[in-house]
Amino acid sequence: MTEVEQHPFSPFLPQKAKLLILGSFPPPAKRWSMNFYYPNLQNDFWRICGLIFFNNKDYFLMKERKAFNLEAITLFLEEKGIALYDTASAVRRLKDNASDKFLEVVTPTDVTTLLEKIPLCRTITTTGEKATELLLPQFGISKAPQVGSFIEFIHKEEPFRLYRMPSSSRAYPLPISRKADQYRILFDDIGL
């Protein structure tokens, strides 16, 4: 049986977070360029944010080190009020890669506990199909929103929105500019 892998990062939960972005689970450590979320240089999440907020897809890239700039990223997230974690806290990798379809989730993340730590947050975003599938049952949501759109739901008597964004993985067949267009709608909707 394949070894159980615990999530390597603590949840990133700025006090003024208005948005919680949830992926599925980090790639294997050998693919990291930094010790933080979306660490793989082949993942376009930080390029999407660079395009949207700075009109420069390489804004968060340190070319001299072939890595993302963790300091610039965390400052950006704190300033904008964006929290990050994943919908799985422990997994088994059925293949030695970052593909969601080869992740067996051992422990789903208790997202309600995360939300208690960021009381201003009323918007959740999933970045991919597996993240969305894992999140829906926690809030009694029966049907996922279409990619690039949202649904509304009530949690603890408060209105929330769940946005479903395209995966930022290059394996998801959509040009980065089109992915950025969909993420831009989310960020505009919530005033970021």
Given this model, what pLDDT does residue 161 score?
97
Given this model, what pLDDT does residue 100 score?
75
Count structural domains, the chain: 1
Q: Range of 75's domain?
A: 4-189
Given this model, what pLDDT does residue 44 score?
95
Given this model, what pLDDT does residue 94 score?
86
CATH assignment at residue 133: 3.40.470.10
Give per-10-residue mean pLDDT for the chain (192 aa): 90 97 93 94 96 97 90 98 97 79 91 97 95 96 94 96 93 89 95 92
Given this model, what pLDDT does residue 127 score?
93
Tokens describing residue 65: 């080190």
pLDDT tens, 84-131? Answer: 999 999 999 888 766 778 888 999 999 999 999 999 999 999 998 999
